[in-house]
Amino acid sequence: MEQHSELVVLAKLTLWVAMSMTYVRFAACRVKPGVPRLLSLLPVVCLLPFLPFHFSSLHLRGISAFFLAWLALFKLLLLCVDAGPLSASLPFLPFLASAALPVKLIDPLHHHKRKSPSISPLLSAAAKAALLSAVIPFYRFKDVMHPYLLLSVYCIHMYLALELVLACTAGAAALFLPRGLAIEPQFDAPYRAASLQDFWGRRWNLMVSAILRPSIYLPVRARFGRAAGILATFLVSGLMHEVMFWYITLAPPTGEATAFFVLHGACLVAEGAARQAGWWRPPAAMATLLTLGFVVVTGFWLFYPPILRSRADEVVLAECAAAMAFLEDAGRAVIAWVR
């Protein structure tokens, strides 16, 4: 019954978002950039942060908050100054998909220059889904797991789930694209990152990078230099993660997520300076091991504690178990119907 009510809420919010983004495109095509366009889009800008609270499911509330209260909100603010990945010149359906979903459309004139993925996105998503379904049963032994082993499993779970969700939304958005438009990949094998710059800038959750680069990094760098641009970008990312944690846990922000990203921003600046001075050139395998180790260890220290203290991880596991049970029952029903 609860799953049915959540599906009803999802359908209603999908309709609200579609109508809102239809209005956004209509206004953006007719109102010049700047304050006039901002004022015209203000009703939608104010609406988006409230929509995720309609979900009682932690997964749906967190995912919709990421899509609407962060990415879509920043896209609309950038659209107000004609400086973001969203453009009023896009056809209607691609505009709606690009505005509401965590996707960035690739310029068809440059698409041929990009390296093609070694395997199809569908096959990659299927592999991630299979791995995630293999990870979830391990939580039956969470009470006897060493805390660091459990946190390591959480890291794998988070990566697989996030990449799977983004791949599914990219697949849905691709249905609305005309020939010649494509979607930029959202991940690029982050487990192969050889530096913090490589991890955050070229491999991990690239949709966030595509949003923060024009909105924060480029304006700050133009006035105060590269280091200030990096630090400002990671500070804003940290603050937005605090907001996302608030949606997920419904608990007041603790500042730990902000500290995590500010620390990584400072280390990224130091890493670039050391590389430029010739002090930091480790072998590729060692660089990857050190990079991933730093991300994981600092995540254990600062990123995961707010989630664990609120027991949001237990809610996630309960919802995953319920989803697995639902899929198993649905599979049995289909098999019985076929027979």
pLDDT at 113: 47
Per DSSP, the residues of 167-211 read: HHHHHHHHTTPPTT-EE--S---GGG--SHHHIIIIIS-HHHHHH
pTM over 0.85: yes
In angstroms, the CA 294 to CA 181 distance is 37
In angstroms, the CA 205 to CA 86 distance is 18
pLDDT tens per residue across all 339 residues of the chain: 566 688 899 999 999 999 999 999 999 999 999 999 999 999 999 999 999 999 999 999 999 999 999 999 999 999 999 887 888 888 888 899 899 998 888 765 555 444 545 455 667 777 888 888 888 888 888 888 888 888 899 999 989 998 888 888 888 888 877 776 677 888 888 999 999 999 999 999 889 999 999 999 999 999 999 999 999 999 999 999 999 999 999 999 999 999 999 999 999 999 999 988 888 788 889 999 999 999 999 999 999 999 999 998 888 888 887 777 766 666 677 777 766
In angstroms, the CA 172 to CA 189 distance is 22
In angstroms, the CA 200 to CA 265 distance is 10
In angstroms, the CA 105 to CA 94 distance is 9
In angstroms, the CA 78 to CA 81 distance is 6
pLDDT at 126: 79
Which of 302, 110, 313, 299 lies closest to 199, judged by CA?
299
Per DSSP, the residues of 207-244 read: HHHHHHIIIIIHHHHHHH-HHHHHHHHHHHHHHHHHHH
In angstroms, the CA 31 to CA 21 distance is 15
Bridge partners (DSSP) listed for residue 106: 182
In angstroms, the CA 253 to CA 336 distance is 48
Which of 300, 260, 257, 266 lies closest to 197, judged by CA?
266
